[in-house]
Structure 1
Amino acid sequence: MPQSTSAPDKPLTLTRTRWEDTGIRFFPFHVVLGVSLAIPIFIFMRKSMADPDIWWHFRNAQYLLAHHRFPLVDEYSFTAAGASWLPHEWLSEVFYYFAFRVAGLRGVFFLALALIEAIMLGLFYIAYRKSGDIKNSFLATAFAVLLATVSIGPRTLLFGWLCMLVLLNLLRKLEDGEEIRIWVIPALFCLWVNLHGSWLMGMVVFGIVIASGLVEGSWGQLDAVRWAPRQLRRLLITAGASLGALFANPCGYRIVFYPFDLAFRQKMGINHVDEWMSIDFHTPRGKLALIFLLTIILLAVLSPRRWKLNELLFVFLGLYMSLTYVRLLFLGALLITPILASHIKLLPPYQKEIDKPALNCVILTTALVFLLIKTPGPAQLENKITSVYPVRAVEYMKSHSIRGRMLNEYLWGGYLIWNNPDLPVFIDGRADIFDHTGVFKDYMAAVSIQDSFAILDKYHVNLVLVSPGSATSYLLKNNSGWNIKYQDDMSVLFEKR
């Protein structure tokens, strides 16, 4: 009896309905990933509105717009009054001040949120363009978001990191052989120097890209390709033009040299301000940085993809800066994330055929509803400020016309400058002028109760505003020469008898 023969198996193919194709177009997977990055940034931002420096940035911008000239000497403190001051972040200050004038604290919240979202989503884009792998780019960027929490908040630094992101994308295009308008780079540095002093790191990054093309060869897993003479000439001219563009600022060479002043002269600020400390691996953020470091080591050992010389130098720079200064974990994330994305293969590649537009739609709708519900109102933002600053003490001092020479906590100085401008502060977040004048050193001696009364006498201090649990508070409570003028759970105001 003859056996029946069956047709050979055909490969299984997935066919899509017209609705599914439309759904993918309107609810694409990469948008879902982008929103998945945006949500945690939004959550972190809700908790990080109380940046101590934003207040004196407001005051600087207010002064500029009211007097049509830059504040070039200190007018906010009695300890460094008249000391030279550089408006090295003036343009960022104006943007934040306008946001505040238009919509109050909500305006500041939305501006800072827009900046950090643009940076992280832009980083996601660069990682994807470099690696061609949307899923692993998302994974690398999600880790970068965690590292970036060190600078989430209304900070002028965010404008600097946004400029860094633009530079990295331009350099990526250059590396990939895409045509770019090379004049954009000097224009970027001209803008950057007026926004924030982090332009110096941009120059270092640009220099690394140029230097990496001066040699050619292969060493183990490392490759380098020499620039063509025409390319190198264009890059060197662009670098020279970028250096020249830095001097297009209100104070010329002084603002250009400011980052070097910070690095080599402002020792008290570098040694005592938390964000300038080296990474502490005992903290959650330190453990994240350690995971970041170990991941890079594993990639170097296990990844089959070869390394480019500029990638290796970016990793060295990013790790050095991140581990040396907590503040620069953000920079490390910007430099290393695209490289990380191109080496890791922890997730399978994206397949359009198995995309689920209905699920994408549900996720996007849920995210939108969450954002609408959780967006903080003015009262919530004010409550956040009240939980961090001596709001009620300031109201008391204003209502009772308290005047004098007051020692205040470092992190409260900016708030006092903006909210009680008639009472000059002892110190605030403008660490440079207080470092140069010796005030910062005296302040540290006073609050560490090493030589408190001598410092108070030196500056003729008759008022002290500190937190109730501070060492200074304990010292003055147990000294008959001082009495408590006002106290609440956030602050205590002492007056000299």
Structure 2
Amino acid sequence: MNDAQASVEAATLDERTRLIFCLFTACIMAAVLAAFAGSVLQDPDSWWQVKVGLDFLANRTFPTVDPYSYTFAGQPWIAKEWLGQVLLALAYRAGGWNGVATLIIVTIALTVFLLGWFLSTWLKPILAIALAFVATALISPIYTGRPHIFTFPIIVIWTAMLFRAAREERAPPWWLLVLVVLWANLHATFTLSFIIAAFAGLDLLARTGFSKPALLAKWVAFGLLCPLVSLIHPYGVQAILATFAVAYGNEAVPLITEWRAFNAQDYPVQEVAMLLALFGLLVSGLRIGWAKALFIVFTLHVYLAHVRFMYLFFLLVPIVIAMEVAQQYPSLSATAWLAEKRDGLEKFFARRFYAICGAAAVLLVGAVAVLGSTYQVTPSPKTSASGALAFAQSQHLSGNVLNSYDFGGTLIFHGIKTYIDGRTDQLFLGGFTKTDDETTHSDGKPLLEAQLKKYGVGWALLTAGDYRIPFFDQLGWKRAYADDYAVIYLPGA
């Protein structure tokens, strides 16, 4: 074997070793999540997200008015995340809630793989995959059966490729615009793609100044095309407008847990991680440039303002600063790892790369089949109200129902018109959500009584901890059903 052939073989072994490192980490994450598969079905919105997708598959029409509530029936409403909802519905059709959980877990595992792969471009594989695993573990509180999960692999690719292009002082890859279209149809956070592209452009500007006007012009053109191609959406500009409406805030934002500001008491592990990251940046003397520093400040601000955006900080900051870490700390770099002689174990795995990938695929398919037949995942009983709904069906309860917020999703899924549900980005505004919240206060009984009359409520489905329960007793309503999670009230005789 000549030197050229030996060099090619060594490079191939190195790439395969990196791939196996990343694949192994993704499999570990999938295994951990599979052991707690039910945790991804705790969100009450999972119910209606799946239902919207199922309705689209059945009707092949894009809704323009609300078909699911009686309080806002006929009001403008769009399924702006239709593609993500269709994916959830297809998974549900294929395997019920097990299918939904499996799809979410596979998507998260793919995110781990991609994060590890991009980080290992600059850092030693073992460090890269450790960072990828820790970063994705830290954002586990937002792992739910909702469309935003499908954007995680996209945002990792988008950020890594754009900052790489800026670092190499070349035009952004035009094929990334396809990701914008996909992102726009999956979830409303697609406008983040514009912001990330802008920061990558600033990073290029910080490196080159105005010395390369033709290159800067390409970046400006790319930035202008991002919002333009995002209009390739069934609802066109309405999707962007709906996103901005939430971004600027509405009456529901302060009342929804995921939209609230970061609270260290609720997320102590994430607080420790942020403080450790800040400590590391301060004592290491890492130089990252003003554009990347601004990007870190932006992701941290958005996270502290709204906990749902924790993934921006934990997933994207490692990608953005990996090159500087590798350059300023060569012992941690992929270059140092490449200079090392591959040990026997690495060679063993790399030379059996295809066999390992094939075995992993077989095991994955087998695990999915076994889990699908023996281990049934169900949504949280805190959101399903299964016993209460079974009682309502057996008693033929009809008429308008006043429901607790967390039961809105399951009512939609079961074809019952809601009083309120999780679609507060577009509906239940104009003072409605604020009033609903005020009915739970100590002086809320008059407001509750007014709402019952205004909307002709025929029965109430409340969570066991709903603060309005004493008011129903005081108003003479009869408790017809109760379990550990739900209570049903009927008007008194």
TM-score (norm 2): 0.83
Q: Structure 2: how far apart are the matches of 1:418 and 1:215? A: 51
Question: Does residue 308 of structure 2 align to residue 327 of structure 1?
Answer: yes
Q: Structure 2: how far apart are the matches of 1:384 and 1:66? A: 23
Q: Structure 1: how far apart are the matches of 2:395 and 2:32? A: 43
Give the length in aligned residue pairs: 461
After TM superposition, the structure 1 stretch with the greater mean CA deviation from structure 2, 28-37 or 67-76, is 28-37
- Structure 2 gaps of 5+ residues are 1-12
After TM superposition, the structure 1 stretch with the greater mean CA deviation from structure 2, 52-61 or 169-178, is 169-178
Cα 1:265–1:312 change in 2 (3 A) is closer
After TM superposition, the structure 1 stretch with the greater mean CA deviation from structure 2, 233-242 or 290-299, is 290-299
Aligned pairs for 1:92-491 (under 5 A) are 92-129=84-121, 131-177=122-168, 182-216=173-207, 228-266=212-250, 268-283=251-266, 285=267, 287-303=268-284, 305-339=286-320, 341=322, 343=325, 353-354=342-343, 356=345, 372=367, 376-377=371-372, 380-386=375-381, 388-419=383-414, 421=415, 423-449=416-442, 450=444, 451-476=447-472, 478-479=473-474, 481-491=476-486
Alignment-mate amino acid for residue 158 of structure 1? I
Q: Deviations over 1:443-491 (max 9, x none)?
A: 2122335232222222222311112332222332x32620012222221
Q: Structure 2: how far apart are the matches of 1:295 and 1:225? A: 33
Q: Structure 2: how far apart are the matches of 1:395 and 1:83? A: 30
After TM superposition, the structure 1 stretch with the greater mean CA deviation from structure 2, 98-107 or 62-71, is 62-71
TM-superposed deviation, 1:175: 3.1
Alignment-mate amino acid for residue 453 of structure 2? D
SS of 1:73's equivalent? Answer: coil
Alignment-mate amino acid for residue 278 of structure 1? A
Alignment-mate amino acid for residue 189 of structure 2? S
- Contact 1:161-1:198 within 8 A present in 2 as well: no
Q: Deviations over 1:298-352 (max 9, x none)?
A: 3333335431333212211111111111101012112212246553979897555
Q: Structure 2: how far apart are the matches of 1:178 and 1:157? A: 31
TM-superposed deviation, 1:412: 1.2
Q: Structure 1: how far apart are the matches of 2:153 and 2:78? A: 22
- Contact 1:80-1:433 within 8 A present in 2 as well: no
Structure number with higher helix proportion: 2
After TM superposition, the structure 1 stretch with the greater mean CA deviation from structure 2, 176-185 or 425-434, is 176-185
- Contact 1:140-1:341 within 8 A present in 2 as well: no
Cα 1:295–1:447 change in 2 (3 A) is same
Alignment-mate amino acid for residue 54 of structure 2? Q
TM-superposed deviation, 1:179: 7.2
After TM superposition, the structure 1 stretch with the greater mean CA deviation from structure 2, 249-258 or 292-301, is 292-301
Q: Structure 2: how far apart are the matches of 1:135 and 1:479? A: 63
Quote the residue 1:52 is aligned against.
44
Q: Structure 2: how far apart are the matches of 1:299 and 1:467? A: 44
- Contact 2:18-2:120 within 8 A present in 1 as well: no
SS of 1:494's equivalent? Answer: strand
- Contact 2:70-2:417 within 8 A present in 1 as well: yes
TM-superposed deviation, 1:410: 0.8
TM-superposed deviation, 1:226: 5.6
Q: Structure 1: how far apart are the matches of 2:491 and 2:450? A: 14
Q: Structure 1: how far apart are the matches of 2:341 and 2:88? A: 42
Q: Structure 2: how far apart are the matches of 1:314 and 1:328? A: 14
- Cα RMSD after superposing both structures: 3.4
- Contact 1:314-1:335 within 8 A present in 2 as well: no
Quote the residue 1:219 is aligned against.
none
- Contact 2:64-2:77 within 8 A present in 1 as well: yes
TM-score (norm 1): 0.83
Cα 1:148–1:435 change in 2 (3 A) is same
Cα 1:71–1:127 change in 2 (3 A) is same
User: Greater CA radius of gyration, 1 or 2?
Assistant: 1
The share of aligned pairs that are identical, in percent, is 22
Alignment-mate amino acid for residue 328 of structure 1? F
Q: Structure 2: how far apart are the matches of 1:176 and 1:355? A: 35
SS of 1:281's equivalent? Answer: coil
- Structure 1 gaps of 5+ residues are 1-20, 217-223
